Structure 1
C-alpha cells in the first residue's frame, strides 16, 4: 500500500511499496550497501521516493567516518577465520559514503524540501519518523542516532558517528554485539565543529535549505528557509523570535580558516547568506542575531568575516545586514572597546509560529490560500539608522593602537558603498534625505575628503566619487 505526504506543489508523492522497500532492506542487511544505494537511485522518480528510514540510513552512510589505517591480514587464513573476520567488520567505504551523499543531493534537488527534511533532526520534531525499519538491519538500528540529535549541526561534528565492529558470538544461540571504536581518529582536523569527512553532508544541507528558500519565495513569501529556522532553538522563554545561531556561525568561522580550499570557504558564504535571509522575517530576531555575530566575529576573525560579507550578492537583506554590522565596527572603533554600541533598530514584532501538521496539504484549497495570505505578515520591518547617525559615527572614529589590527579605512569605504547600493535599490522618495542632499551638492568630492579624512586612501575616495556621481538623486 502506498503512503502519501505533501509537497510544496501539492502533487501526489508516494513512498515505495513493501516489495520495493524489501529489496533495499535485503541489500542493506547483507552488507551490500552500494547495491542498495544504486537500487534506491533507480527506484527514485518524481512520484515515488525513498522512505524516511532509508533516507536516514543514506545519511548515516554519508556521515560514517572513513578508515584511514589498514588492518593486518593473515597470510593464510582458514575459511572459517575469513568468515569470522567478515562478520566482525562493519565496513562502510568512502565510495559508499560518497554515493549516499550524492543521492541525498539528488533527492534535495528533485523532491519536496519538506519531504527530504523529514530525515533531519530539528528543534521542531513534527516530522520525526522512527517507524518502519527492519529489525534485522544493523544499519537501520545504528542510524537512529541521527534522529536523536538536537539539530543537523550536531551530525557534522567529529565523533558523532563512531566506527564499530561486531563481536563474534561464542555460542550458536548468541547474537553478535556492537563494539565501538573509541580511538576514533577519523580526520586530521583539531576542530570539533565539523569533521573532515562531513563537508559533503554540509553541502547537501545547504542545497536543501537553498531550494527551500526558492520555493518559499515562489509562494509569495520573503526569501528564507523555514527548514533552516527549525535548526535554530526557540528562546528559553518560549516567546518571541529565534536568534541563537552559534552552531552555524561556528561552522562559518571554521570555513574561513580553510585556506586554499575555495569550495569549503564558499560553503561558509552560502551559510552566511542563508542566515541573513532569515532576517527578512520577524520569525528571526535581527538585532539579537546582529549583536551575536558582532561579538563572535570581533574577537575571532573580523577581517576574514567582513571580506566574506562584502563578497555576497548585494541583495536588500544582505545590504541591510552589511550596513548595520559595518556601522557597529565603526562605532566601536570610535569608542571604548568594552562599550556595546547599539544602533537602535526598530523592535521586532512577536513572531508568529508556522504550524505544520502532517496533513497540512490535505486542507481545502481555500484554507491553504487563507493561511498563505496570513503568512505574508511575517515580513520583517527593519529600519536602518539615518545617514546622519552613520556620518556621526565615522566622524567620531579615531584610530588608535588597540584597533590597529582592523582596516578601518577599508571598513569605511565598504560602509559607504553598501549604503550607496542600498539607496540605489530604493525609490527616489524612499531614499535618505541627507543622502540625497549630499549627492546634489556640487562639491561632493570635497565633502568626501572631509567626511572620510586622511587615513582613507585616495583610491577609495576616487571610486566613491565616481560611484556617487553616477547615481541620480
Structure 2
C-alpha cells in the first residue's frame, strides 16, 4: 500500500458538490465530481460513501421508501429525493474512474474497517442514510443482497424503539445471506477487486499482495476470509462469464495474500475444494484454475488443491463425497502470561515484520510424493496433466531453496510420464484406461517437460 496519498480536494470544490447532494441533485453532483477528477487530489471520504450508496441503490430500495398511504404529491416529492437509475449508473462509472485515477488507499478511505463516521457530520438525508456504508464491518457486507434495505428497516425500527442507531455488524453475518452479492453490487465488487489489484502493483514488497485487502479480512488475531471466499463460490456459480471472472480474480488476490502474510493458506485450499460438487468435471476444474495468473503462489495453490482432490478420489468409493471440515470460525484468543510461548508466537505474528517473514510456511510436496499420488489415484488424465504442469511451473518459479532437486531428473528421464499415464514403450496394455485420452495428455506433457 502506498505510504502517502494525494491531498484532498479543496474546501471550495467540496462545497459545490455538497450543495448539489443536499438539494438531491445527484446527477449534477456526479457531473461536478467527474470534472474534478484528478490524480493531483482525491475525492473526500464522504463523497465516496455517498457514491457507493447511490451506486448500490436498487429499484427495490426505491419502492420500499415510498409510503403507499401517502398523498400523490408526497409520493412524488419523495421520488424526487431518491437516486434514479441514471444516477446509480453514473455513480458506478465515477467510482471506477476514481479507482483508475487516484491511489488505492485514497479511494478506499470510506471502507476502512473501524473508521466509522460521526452522524453529527451528516448535513443531508443522503449523508445520513449513507452512514450504513461507514458502519459496515468490512467491504463484503455492503455487497450483500438487500444491504441498503435492511439498514433502512433496522434504522427505522431503532427510531421507533430506543432511538439507537444499530451498527451494520448487528444485522447478521454475510455468511447467513442467501446472496452475498446483490444485482446492483456486481459493479462494486469489480471496483473493489480493481482497487486491490492496483494496490498489489503499488505495494513495494518482495511477495506480491494487497495490504488493503488484508485489512478487510480482520485483524492478525482474528483473520476471517469466509466472506470473501463465499463471494468467490457465488461468482463461480454464475452463468455470466464476467461474474465468474470476478470470482477468479478475487481468488487470485487471496492466494497472493496467503503466500505473503499470515492469511491461512490451507483454509483457502479447503474452502475451494469443498465448493467442488461431485458433478464437477475435470474440464470445470481446469477452467477455474486456468484463469489464475501464473506465479509461484498460484502454482502452489493448484498443487495443494489437486492433492486434496486426488486423495479424495482415492479414499472415497461412494458417490457422496464428504467435504473436508473447514477450520472453525475464528475466536478471540485467551490472555496469555507475559513471556509464554503462545504470547511470544502471537507477538511475532502481529509485529511489523516484512512480508517474506510472514509468509505461510506451507511447502509443496516432493516429486516422490507427487509420483506416489499419481500411482494411487484413478483421477482423469486431464487432472493428472494439470497437476504435473502446475508442479513443473512451481519448480521453475519457486525460490531455489524450495525447489526439489530430483524433479529435473524424473521429468527428463520419462519417470513422470510412465507413473502418470503408463509405460508407452510396453504397449497399450499398460497405458491409462481412458482410451486414447491418456496418450494425448502424455504427449502434451512430454512436450512441456522437454523445454524445462
Work out whether 1:206 is the aligned partner of 2:184.
no
Separation of aligned partners in 2, 1:82 and 1:338 = 58
**Contact 1:328 / 1:341 at 8 angstroms: preserved in 2?**
no
Q: Normalising by structure 1, report the TM-score.
A: 0.73
User: Which of residues 199, 215, 218 in structure 2 aligns to 1:230?
Assistant: 215
Q: What is the RMSD computed on CA atoms of the aligned residues? A: 3.5
Q: Which residue of structure 2 lines up, in the alignment, with residue 169 of structure 1?
A: none
Q: Across the two proteins, how many residue pairs are aligned to each other?
A: 391
**Contact 2:375 / 2:420 at 8 angstroms: preserved in 1?**
no
Q: Which residue of structure 1 lines up, in the alignment, with residue 22 of structure 2?
A: 29
Separation of aligned partners in 2, 1:86 and 1:131 = 27
- Taking the TM superposition and a 5 Å limit, the aligned residue runs for 1:190-205 are 191-205=178-192
Per the TM alignment, residue 128 of structure 1 is displaced from its structure 2 partner at its CA by 4.0
**SS of equivalent to 2:299:** helix
User: Which of residues 413, 417, 433 in structure 1 aligns to 2:385?
Assistant: 413
- Taking the TM superposition and a 5 Å limit, the aligned residue runs for 1:62-141 are 62-66=55-59, 83-89=73-79, 90-122=81-113, 125=114, 127-130=115-118, 133-135=121-123, 137-141=124-128
Q: Which residue of structure 2 lines up, in the alignment, with residue 437 of structure 1?
A: 409
Q: Which residue of structure 2 lines up, in the alignment, with residue 177 of structure 1?
A: none
**Contact 1:66 / 1:197 at 8 angstroms: preserved in 2?**
no
Q: Which residue of structure 2 lines up, in the alignment, with residue 8 of structure 1?
A: 2
Separation of aligned partners in 2, 1:253 and 1:302 = 16
- Taking the TM superposition and a 5 Å limit, the aligned residue runs for 1:26-425 are 26-66=19-59, 83-89=73-79, 90-122=81-113, 125=114, 127-130=115-118, 133-135=121-123, 137-162=124-149, 191-216=178-203, 219-234=204-219, 238=221, 242=223, 244-259=224-239, 261-298=240-277, 304-336=284-316, 337-338=321-322, 352-353=349-350, 374-398=354-378, 408-425=380-397
Separation of aligned partners in 2, 1:444 and 1:302 = 24
Work out whether 1:468 is the aligned partner of 2:431.
no
Per the TM alignment, residue 333 of structure 1 is displaced from its structure 2 partner at its CA by 0.9
Q: Which residue of structure 2 lines up, in the alignment, with residue 403 of structure 1?
A: none
**SS of equivalent to 1:412:** helix
Separation of aligned partners in 2, 1:42 and 1:53 = 18
Gaps of 5+ in 2: 65-70, 153-176, 327-344, 424-430
Separation of aligned partners in 1, 2:52 and 2:98 = 12
Gaps of 5+ in 1: 1-6, 72-80, 166-189, 343-348, 356-370, 399-406
Q: Which residue of structure 1 lines up, in the alignment, with residue 68 of structure 2?
A: none
**SS of equivalent to 1:45:** coil
Name the structure with the higher helix share: 2
Q: Normalising by structure 2, report the TM-score.
A: 0.76
User: 1:18-37 CA distances to partner (integer Å, 9 max, x unpaired)?
Assistant: 33322212111111000011
**SS of equivalent to 1:158:** coil
The 3 A distance-change label for structure 1 pair 383 and 95 is same
